[in-house]
Amino acid sequence: DKCGCLDTEGEYHDAGDSWLTDKCAESCSCNLGNITCEDHSCNPNSVCALDKYGDLFCQPTKFDRCSISGDPHYRTFDGFSHHFQ
């Protein structure tokens, strides 16, 4: 059916929704009126943070850059160059 779920904090989740719990410790989902959760952790290059909607997610702490130029030349995140012609 289309029944949602109430979590342990009394928050309602629509059927099919998934979310991370406090400190991104678990990944939970709502299906057929039941909540199932699995252990979760952010990778070493990210931290648990709130998005603009108040939902938790793993936010990267490190950013890299790649570049594309000319006819075309690509430099990847690890500094490797590819030339396509």
Is 24 within the bounds of a domain? yes
Domains of the chain: total: 1
Instruction: Yes or no: say if 18 and 7 are a contact pair by the CB < 8 Å rule.
Output: no
pTM score of the predicted model: 0.69
Q: Kindly write down the DSSP assignment for every residue of 7-68, as one continuous string.
A: -TTS-EE-TT-EEE-GGG-EEEEEETTEEEEEE----TTEEEEE-TTS-EEEEES-----EE
Is 20 within the bounds of a domain? yes
Is 75 within the bounds of a domain? no
Is 36 within the bounds of a domain? yes
Radius of gyration of the chain (CA): 20
- Give the residue numbers spanning the domain of 11: 5-58
Is 67 within the bounds of a domain? no
Instruction: Yes or no: say if 69 and 81 are a contact pair by the CB < 8 Å rule.
Output: no
* pLDDT exceeds cutoff 80 at 16: yes
Is 37 within the bounds of a domain? yes
* pLDDT (tens digit per residue) in 44-65: 989 999 999 999 999 999 877 7
For residue 17, the domain's CATH number is 2.10.70
* pLDDT exceeds cutoff 90 at 14: yes
Is 84 within the bounds of a domain? no
Is 51 within the bounds of a domain? yes
